[in-house]
Structure 1
């Protein structure tokens, strides 16, 4: 009835090694590759920004020069408009004051020969 005692022993050749090291799969590029990519993208962005700044500076210079060259034309147009308005005002004044004796239309109200342009308000 009694069976002889039998101790549990390791298998022949021993147990296999315990895997205690991390066995993680490769998940994307390393830090150096990411840093190189970010540096390359930033360098390209700064390059494009510099080119854009040069273009904006050139456009600003062109705008300033075009305005400088348009100033004589705009001044001449303003002078023509002022002359036309002054002549129309003199015509209106002579029409209104035609019945007043010794009235000179367009004569200055000042008693000197210095030129004073009429004060007009230009509303844009």
Structure 2
């Protein structure tokens, strides 16, 4: 047997100890936090509703202006319609006189109905 005694050296930690074991994930911060995103979305929605309200006010004002302009134009349009109806009636009566000139006792423009009320010969519906 060999009885050689060699001094052995035990493996020991370095002075000051080993460095900490890195077990956590090292992820970088990516973008703003949830509270910042929520605040941004809230601000954006508030601004959108503000602009929607302003647009509704403007649309309502334009509708009011359009309605009043139509109200003020009604007498003019009625007068134009009356002039046009009178012109057409006179032209129709002239045509009737020309066509029925050979018929005895024919009165051009006289109603064929025994009703004294004025009734226009045609109705024009304008939308």
Name the TM-score class by shorter chain. Answer: 0.7 to 0.9
The alpha-carbon distance between structure 1 residues 122 and 15, as it changes in their structure 2 partners (threshold 3 A), is closer
Does residue 52 of structure 2 align to residue 49 of structure 1? yes
Count of paired positions: 124
Segment drifting more, 91-100 vs 105-114: 105-114
Q: What root-mean-square deviation, in Å, do the aligned CA atoms of Structure 1 and Structure 2 show? A: 2.3
Distance in 2 separating the partners of 1:48 and 1:37: 17
Query: What is the CA-CA distance between 1:9 and the residue it aligns to?
Result: 3.6
> In structure 1, which of residues 103, 106, 121 is the aligned counterpart of residue 106 of structure 2?
103
Greater relative contact order (CA < 8 Å, ≥ 6 in sequence): 1
| Aligned partner of 2:94 among 80, 91, 94 | 91
Give 1:59's aligned residue.
Answer: 62
Q: Distance in 2 between matches of 1:123 and 1:60?
A: 21
Is residue 2:28 matched to residue 1:25?
yes
For structure 1, the 5+ residue unaligned runs are none
